[in-house]
Amino acid sequence: MKRGMMSRWVGFTVIATAMVGGFAACSSDDENVETKGDAGPGDATVVDGGVLPTNDAAADVRPDQGALAALDCEVAIVGGGPGGIHTAYKLTNPGDGGAPTGVTSGSGVCVFEKNDRLGGRIRDVSFGPNPDDVTATGAFRMYDNQYTYALANELGVQVVTPDSFSNLRAVQDPSDAGQYFGYSGDAFKALYGQTLNDDEMWVKLLCGDQVPKDGTKFPSYSGIDGGIGTKSTLDYTKSVLGASGSQYFLDQNRFRADWTSEVDAVGYLEYGMIDYFGAGPIRYPIPGHSAIIGKMRAAIEAKGGRIFLSEAVTNIVSAADGFTLETGAHAVHAKQIVLAVPHGAVARIAGDVTTAIAATKEYKNVTSAKSMQVTHQWDKAWWKSNLRYPNLAKVVGGDLPDGSAPILRADTTIMPDGTCINSIEMPITAHTDGLKVTRTVYSDNRACVDKNLSVYGDGGAAGTQSLNDELKKSLRILFPAVFDGSANEPQIVKTDVNVHEEAWYYLKTGATANGVTNKSLFDWSVTPVAGKKLYLVGDAWYPLGSGWANAAYISSIRVLNTHFGMTLPSNELQPVACP
């Protein structure tokens, strides 16, 4: 199932309202974290799947206590998101991957995480009194043919199949002020004067006559005529589908950042082909992805691996026998470094190697999306009501047939006063249903996210209330039979606001013309500076799978096999032929 149709999670800035504990900027492979707002009633507590480490007494030394404490590590991993933690896990628990070279004991592996928790984008939040009463506000799901699924099974994490559901779609008619509702892409074709539906357009974009193919139908997007190497995804959709067809296609896709002037067409089409035609069924880890992080953390610490939380690496300098790193507490000597931080964070770390990386064409040709998730807990399970749109005069393509699966998702382009929901997902597992939580906002429309944030302001109770008041306007448009402004209208019990500045990654428009491809970027990231034992890990360097923790894990595996002599299955995504 295509990410733009089904799911993407997601390098970023998190703004959390009503959360326990303040965050500093995070150095994980997926996230820069900042908190706004004061903790108060309705707090949502972030879970990382473990307790603070107790095996590093030197971490008690802080700058106000004197000089930085000296620390020796064979491998320093900068960033405790999925890629960084996975690297530490396999170095300390190699299993069938073979003993890693360059690591003589578990204590030689050190992880430095700027945040006060592990997980990066894997950010599960507590919505109840029990340890497992959490729901995902970052990483949410997986495909069953991804390495993430195999890793969950390896670690004994429960994974479930989601419930079947119907999808309400709502659009602001681009030609007038009307609002229309329907239950499939087919329903909206006539509104835009189109003969193809959105699925058929996906096939045309990925495998149409304009795409050269070899004898076995594998596409070669760089061979498309018309200067494809300099085109964005938006340029490409307009050239293939026409202006009105492109608008229809974009309005039917809940991921808006994929199709903009910033994203390289060839790089994205290579990703889209694999994700659209090669994806497996969706699965959900229970209680969330933090269970995977927690299991890996426990395994690392059981073998003596050292994890330092709330400890940002600010400087990395080459030394004769490795590197010197500085944090707020330690002067670290390391023979090798795994740099598992977001793309943007690399340039914010001082030092000769990071400066060299940031100056390369590969680094300069990566861009990212900005996204927002707002999670709500409710006083009642309102999604169990009849959510069909009641005014059939505004419903295109006919009413949802009797006996259909319940409506548990709605996607919308309607933006009252410039704010938006973009996509709302109601509970599709028994776990989230029991918690009465919805992912009410899932948006990567940058203008919409920024507008929502302007309403939210500095957070706290007032900012949260202002944002929720605006979001309820969208809920009253989508579900007027339930959200009717009456005393019986569902009430929000808790709110969590999560904003990802670097949500997922793409090649930047023109990357192809500049000689940077998905493959060349990934190959470069393994040894970004010749002669230096510093390696990049994270989904920024593997855009073929970006948007999933899976890409960070695959990046980790490539580094482990290349530089630590391990023999883990690569799990790299394989090309897919056109039908």
In the chain, where are the structural domains located? Answer: 70-119+285-366+504-563, 194-278
pLDDT reported for residue 22: 26
Using a pLDDT cut of 90, give the percent of the chain over it: 84
Residue 173: what pLDDT? 83
Residue 19 exposed, middle or buried by CB count within 10 Å (0-12, 13-18, 19+): buried
User: pLDDT tens across 310-359, in order?
Assistant: 999 999 999 999 999 999 999 999 999 999 999 999 999 999 999 999 99
Which residues neighbour 260 within 8 Å (Cβ) at sequence distance 6 or greater?
Answer: 232, 233, 234
Mean pLDDT of 255-269: 96
pLDDT at 55 over 70: no
Please report the pLDDT score of residue 314 as a whole number.
Answer: 97
Secondary structure class of 365 (helix, strand, coil): coil
Q: What is the pLDDT of residues 524-576, one digit of tens each?
A: 999 999 999 999 999 999 999 887 799 999 999 999 999 999 999 999 999 99
Could you tell me the pLDDT band of residue 31, with boundaries at 50, 70 and 90?
very low
382: left (phi over 0), alpha (psi -120 to 50) or beta: alpha
Q: Is the bond into 480 cis (omega within 30 degrees of 0)?
A: no
Q: Grade residue 46 by pLDDT with cuts at 50, 70 and 90.
A: low
Mean confidence (pLDDT) of the chain: 89
Assign a CATH topology to domain 70-119+285-366+504-563.
FAD/NAD(P)-binding domain (3.50.50)
Those residues whose C-beta lies under 8 Å from the C-beta of residue 158, and which sit 6 or more positions away, are: 285, 286, 291
Q: Is the pLDDT of residue 1 over 60?
A: no
Average pLDDT, stretch 470-488?
96
Q: In the predicted model, what is the mean pLDDT of residues 66-93? A: 95
Confidence of residue 12 (pLDDT cuts 50, 70, 90): very low
Read off the pLDDT band of 97 (50, 70, 90): confident
Residue 499 has pLDDT above 60, yes or no: yes
Q: Which residue has the higher pLDDT, 22 or 438?
A: 438
More confident residue, 138 or 557: 557
pTM score: 0.91
Residue 17 has pLDDT above 70, yes or no: no
